[in-house]
Amino acid sequence: MNAPTATVAIPPQAPPTRWPFAIAFALFGLGLAAAVAVSLTEQNLNLYRARFTIWLVMLLVTPAFCRYALGRRTDAQWRRWRWFWTFAGLAYFVHLYYGLRAFHFSLNDVYAKQGSLTATSNLIVSALWALDLVQIWLLGRNLPRWGRVLQFAAVVLVFISAFTATVIFKTGYIHNAGLVMTVIVAGCVVYGLLDCYSSRQPGKP
């Protein structure tokens, strides 16, 4: 990419739009309230809160995956990604809290029930997601190389674990929701790759 030369007039920066924040926040707030309220009359409060918040995570993280796959070239695109990724992460930490509460905050129990592969990868995913949220809010868009690697790892691992936890391990609604998420994200990845490929070869159809 060329550095802008003095002869090119830089358009005054439009103030960033509030839409991404407003939409992600509304989904997050309403979804959270629903998850917290409805689970109150379910058979097992912690378990159902963990279950319902996973729905919310899926709802918020799917747009974030898509934006990531389609590229975040402009500030606006990046901001859109950041809000959805952030609120999905917050919903995920609520899920994690109630999940751990359901296991009486005992890592031993988590390992006993989930097996070491799933439990360890869940812990790694949680740590990466948390670290990534910290770095994007502290450092903004311009991450050092290792930061970008970390982010890539976080996004990919979150996707893989969302995929395995829903499509592979579950049946019923949540399985189908996982499939929908997968199809949408896969579509975005393909589109993003094609887009990237075609823009690298200008002139060719």
Binding mask 162-181 for other proteins (x = CB under 8 A): ---------xx---------
The residue within the footprint of other proteins, chosen from 52, 68, 84, 103 (CB under 8 A), is 103
Report the Cα 164 to chain-centroid distance in Å.
15
Binding mask 55-94 for other proteins (x = CB under 8 A): ----------------------------------------
Contact 195, 71 (CB under 8 A): yes
Contact stretch for other proteins (CB under 8 A) within 105-113, 135-143, 154-162, 185-193: 105-113
Closest CB to other proteins among 26 and 196? Answer: 26
Closest CB to other proteins among 46 and 143? Answer: 46
Closest CB to other proteins among 2 and 171? Answer: 171
Indicate the residue type of 153: A
Does residue 71 come out as left (phi exceeding 0), alpha (psi in the -120 to 50 range) or beta? Answer: left
DSSP alpha helices (H): ranges in the chain? 19-39, 45-70, 75-102, 107-139, 145-163, 173-200
| CA 23/CA 88 separation, integer angstroms | 12
Closest CB to other proteins among 19 and 137? Answer: 19
Query: Least distance (Å) from other proteins to the CB of residue 113?
Result: 5
150: contact with other proteins by CB under 8 A: no
Closest CB to other proteins among 110 and 181? Answer: 110
Indicate the residue type of 147: G
The residue within the footprint of other proteins, chosen from 76, 78, 93, 109 (CB under 8 A), is 109
| CA 112/CA 181 separation, integer angstroms | 29
Query: Least distance (Å) from other proteins to the CB of residue 107?
Result: 11
188 Cβ contact list (under 8 Å, min separation 6): 65, 66, 69, 70
26: contact with other proteins by CB under 8 A: yes
| CA 28/CA 84 separation, integer angstroms | 9
Cβ neighbours, 10 Å, residue 72: 16
Residues near other proteins, by CB under 8 A = 18-19, 21-23, 25-37, 39-45, 47, 102-104, 106, 109-110, 112-113, 171-172
